[in-house]
A and B are shown apart, each in its own frame.
Chain A
Amino acid sequence: MAKRIDVSGLNAYYGSHKAIDDISMTVEPRSVTAFIGPSGCGKSTFLRTLNRMHEVTPGGRVEGKVLLDDENLYGPGVDPVSVRRTVGMVFQRPNPFPTMSIYENVAAGLRLNGGRIRKSEMDAVVEKSLQGANLWKEVKDRLNKPGAGLSGGQQQRLCIARAIAVEPQVLLMDEPCSALDPISTLAIEDLIGELKERFTIVIVTHNMQQAARVSDRTAFFNLAGVGQPGKLVEIDDTERIFSNPSVQATEDYISGRFG
């Protein structure tokens, strides 16, 4: 299921402004990699280059290579639509489709692939995905109610269920808990721990404790200076980053002396 991501020499731009500069890293399969760093350091932008969502932004442009098990996402003839199907994404604010029921939300991705999926198969996938997102018990009696009627934390888990229903190789999470209360946050963190058995997970977070709790590896991003593009400072095992980082800036950031 899960695939390795190899990034080399990646630059991303908004129009003429360079947002991230020359990033290279490897993300291991079946692990959780956390991106941390101050606001505006380009970690979300970088995350969005991993499923070609960056180029959806007006003026968005990418240079460099992102290999998904040896296949370049930015290679010639690669269809961004299949990339996004392979690399799923969960956003900062829960965004279930407001006009669809809970069931339809989860089924939305599969329906896109068209074809004739039997009702029983679809039911099975929906149940599996909702169980995978730890939401099944809470919603199984109201699958036909609109997804917007759930609480914020439930909505976010619904979005996760929607993303994993199409069985992606990689799951990208862009600050998935920043709009949620502590209890919902805990539920999502537990879920991330379970999901990494099946998926390669990359999570952007502002919350350092969260990075320390959920991730196996952590990457620290920083700005080279005001108006300068964001850079990858270092990436290492989470334990090392939080105990004994090799760069002074990382230690300053983590200990709260800066940022």
Chain B
Amino acid sequence: MDITSPTAAQPPPGATAPAPQAKAAARAGDRIFLGLSRGSGLLLLVIMAAIAVFLTVRAASALSHDHGNFFTTFEWNANATPPVFGIAVLAFGTVVSSLIAMLIAVPVAVGVALFLSHYAPRRLAAPLSYVIDLLAAVPSIVYGLWGALFLVPHLGGLYSWLDDYFGWTGVLAYHGGAARSLFTIGILLAIMILPIVTSVSREVFRQAPKMHEEAALALGATRWEVIRMSVLPFGRSGVISASMLGLGRALGETMAVATVLSPSFVIGKSLLDPGGGTFAQNIASSFKESGDIGKDALIASGLVLFVLTLLVNGAARLIIARRKEYSE
């Protein structure tokens, strides 16, 4: 349908034809309105570009002062003279905690999504979906507070137990103390990204064609077999993109990590022992003690985070877009 030239639309017979000046006013109004709305769209693009440009400029100035290697230095002394800082520890902590979060959250989220789309009693499915969406509405600082004051004290026992049986791996060794470690962060992030992964997956599972489910049923499949034959293959790409969206959130989460993690600039062998750091956490935690070069250094690390989340989210969106083309 073409509605781009409304002024050309003929008034119905009998209606008073618009006077010439009214027509002109209409045209001017249209032009202004189109200009405003297109301008808003352009403004969004400008903001995105500006984010990239400003962060890059600041980051470049920071890097020119860096006496370490920005990518491999295990240190963050941006305010010292000479300034020495590198993102190795932050990159490690960000990626590892996010991966732990994915490992925990994605299977659970797929389970919850299946529960809501195929298992929950029909009458309960809608309110229960709402409960899961509520998880997404809780501010991250509250998760942080809960994580630091409730979750951390309760995880010590679990970690000692893991240490007893798997401590020999090194990765799961635990030497006591508050459980303010990357693994705890992973658990907390998993809880936080669960709603987004769940709700996207749930929608995909709901769209699985009824006729394929019936085909499986008519062959004498149990409910699980129906899901395995017709729902999961249909939803696979949707779950992947949902997970990527969740990963994007986990990578950039700031306050929950800043409150729970006990940061240190080493890459520890154990995931359960306190220490480590993430991009976002480091920015929030060290910002107030930073001088000019320190701030630029933090902005440089923020740029890396920005690019990382951009890649992950872009990939997720591309998968979703490809899927849409297929299903239409």
Within 8 Å by CB of B220, from A91, A95, A97, A112, lies A112
Asked if B230 is an interface residue, CB under 8 A from chain A, the answer is yes
Among A79-87, A116-124, A210-218, A244-252, the stretch in contact with B: A79-87
Contacts A58-B122, A93-B211: A51 and B218 contacting too (C-beta < 8 A)? yes
Within 8 Å by CB of B217, from A84, A162, A163, A166, lies A84
Asked if A108 is an interface residue, CB under 8 A from chain B, the answer is yes
Question: Please, which residues of chain A bring their CB within 8 A of the CB of B211?
Answer: 91, 93, 95
Q: Is the Cβ of A99 less than 8 Å from the Cβ of B233?
A: yes
Smallest CB gap from B218: residue in A: A89
Question: Please, which residues of chain A bring their CB within 8 A of the CB of B218?
Answer: 51, 53, 84, 88-89, 91, 163
Asked if B191 is an interface residue, CB under 8 A from chain A, the answer is no
Chain B contact residue count (CB 8 A cutoff): 18
Q: Is the Cβ of A91 less than 8 Å from the Cβ of B214?
A: yes
How distant is the Cα of A95 from the Cα of B230 in the complex, in angstroms? 11
- Shortest Cβ distance from residue A68 to the other chain B in the assembled complex, whole angstroms: 14
Asked if A159 is an interface residue, CB under 8 A from chain B, the answer is yes
Q: Is the Cβ of A81 less than 8 Å from the Cβ of B212?
A: no
Within 8 Å by CB of B219, from A56, A93, A99, A166, lies A166
Using a CB-CB cutoff of 8 Å, which residues 55-80 of chain B contact chain A? none
Chain A contact residue count (CB 8 A cutoff): 26
Asked if A152 is an interface residue, CB under 8 A from chain B, the answer is no
- Shortest Cβ distance from residue A149 to the other chain B in the assembled complex, whole angstroms: 14
Q: Is the Cβ of A85 less than 8 Å from the Cβ of B217?
A: no
Using a CB-CB cutoff of 8 Å, which residues 7-64 of chain A contact chain B? 51, 53, 56, 58
Contacts A84-B220, A88-B219, A109-B219: A56 and B214 contacting too (C-beta < 8 A)? yes
Asked if B222 is an interface residue, CB under 8 A from chain A, the answer is yes
How distant is the Cα of A108 from the Cα of B218 in the complex, in angstroms? 11
Q: Is the Cβ of A91 less than 8 Å from the Cβ of B222?
A: no
How distant is the Cα of A99 from the Cα of B217 in the complex, in angstroms? 17
User: Which residues of B are in contact with A by a Cβ distance under 8 Å?
Assistant: 122, 209, 211-212, 214-222, 225, 229-230, 233-234
The 8 closest A-B pairs by CB, nearest first: A85-B220, A89-B218, A99-B233, A109-B219, A95-B211, A84-B220, A95-B215, A81-B220
User: Which residues of A are in contact with B by a Cβ distance under 8 Å?
Assistant: 51, 53, 56, 58, 81-86, 88-89, 91, 93, 95-99, 108-109, 112, 159, 162-163, 166
6 new A-B contacts at CB < 8 Å, known A84-B220, A112-B219 = A84-B217, A84-B219, A97-B229, A98-B234, A159-B215, A163-B219
Between A and B, 29 residue pairs with Cβ closer than 8 Å are A53-B214, A81-B221, A83-B220, A84-B217, A84-B218, A84-B219, A85-B220, A88-B219, A89-B214, A89-B218, A91-B215, A91-B218, A93-B211, A95-B211, A95-B212, A95-B214, A96-B215, A97-B216, A97-B229, A97-B230, A97-B233, A98-B234, A99-B233, A108-B219, A112-B219, A112-B221, A162-B215, A163-B219, A166-B219
